[in-house]
Structures are given as C-alpha cells and as structure tokens.
Amino acid sequence: MKSALTWLPTAAIVIVSPVYAGQYATVDEAAKRAFPDATEFKESVFQLSADEVRNVATVTGLPAKPVLWRSLLAMNGDKPLGVVVLDSVIGKFELIDYAVGIAYDGKIRNVEILAYRESHGYEVRLPAWRKQFFGKDKSSRLRVSEDIASISGATMSATHITDGVRRIVAVVDQMKAAGKF
C-alpha cells in the first residue's frame, strides 16, 4: 500500500545576511577635514624600528604593530601642520578603516571612519562619538569607559578604535621624537 504522503521537492532555504559595509570618507576627505588650512598633503610610508615598536607597546599597554604605516603630512607652504595616519582595526568581526589627524603639537584634530563593515555598532561613525578624541594627546588616557564613552551594541568597535587611536598617538610621538616628522 502506498503512503498517502508523497515526497514533494523542498525549496532550499538560503539565509543571506544583509551587507552593511559602507565607504564613509576618502583619505583625501579625512585629511582635508583634519587640516582645512593645508595647502598640500605629502604622502609617506614609514615603519618603526624594533626599539620604537617596543616603546609604543610599553607606552600604550597594547601590542604594537610592526607594520608599514601610511600617512599624509599636512603642509601650509613650508610649515608642517600635522599628520594624518591611516589604520585598520577589527570591530567585532570585520575591519574598520579609519584615519587620525594629529596636529604638530601632538593633539588629535579628528578621527574619521573611512569604511565600516560591521552589521552593528555603526554609532562609532557618528560625529558625537568621534569628537571625544579632539584635543587629546599622549598624556590622555584614551580608554573606553574612562575618557571615551562606550557605546551599547558597539563595545568592541568603540574599544578597538580607541585602542588604535591611542597606538597612533604613541606612534606619531615616536616618529616626531626620531625627527621623522
């Protein structure tokens, strides 16, 4: 006797996560926002020596990145105004590309999110969160929940960007001390 049930083809169910990646600023836009009075930006790539890498790790309490750092030196005629350093950190799962503008006096001018790929935590892109970095320098703590506010739902992104900014401030300080800026 045949079963009353017949095998019907079943539809394959494919779950597709929406893509939230977005390009929010170009390097040139980030540089111009940090130093609107610059007449020229000179691109440069630099790498820290082994001693400088250790110094950065000691100062920041973070593992240093012995990588090639890409930067733009902001100039107004012959006068250096500061530097914009480009970096990437992991948010929760995906890379976040960002740029940090640091004036020649060592104070942060801005933090720009260039590309954000996470499905959550986009609030780190908002000016209200990023403006907390303005005016901070190597003497600032630059720690989430201390002098930088955490963001519910973006804790890892906020923490990793803040750690990255703290590292960049130390890297720029090392490069300036070595006469490379």
Tokens of 28: 């040139």
pLDDT tens figures, 115-165: 999 888 889 999 999 999 999 999 999 999 999 999 988 899 999 999 999
Any domain includes 78: yes
Q: Is residue 65 part of a domain?
A: yes
Tell me the pLDDT of the chain averaged across its residues. 88
Q: Is residue 171 part of a domain?
A: yes
Is residue 97, in this structure, part of any structural domain at all? yes
* Residue 12 belongs to a domain: no
**pLDDT score of 86 more than 50:** yes
In a domain, 118, yes or no: yes
Residue with tokens 């926002």: 33
Cα(38)–Cα(81) distance, rounded to whole angstroms?
Answer: 7
| pLDDT above 90 as % of the chain | 71
In a domain, 125, yes or no: yes
Q: Return the axis-axis angle of helices 155-177 and 50-60, rounded to nearest 10°.
A: 130
pTM comes to 0.86
- What residue spans of the chain are helical by DSSP H? 27-34, 50-60, 127-130, 155-177
Statement: residue 22 has pLDDT above 80? no
Residue 23: which of 144, 112, 93, 108 has the closest Cα? 112
Residue 118 corresponds to which tokens in the numbers above? 């996470």
Cα–Cα–Cα angle for 78, 80, 82, rounded to 5 degrees:
160
Is residue 17 assigned to a domain?
Answer: no
Query: Domain limits at 149?
Result: 22-177
Tally of structural domains, the chain: 1
CA angle (179, 99, 26) in 5-degree steps:
125
Between CA 24 and CA 28 the distance in angstroms is 12
Per residue in 95-110, pLDDT (tens digit) is 999 999 999 999 999 9
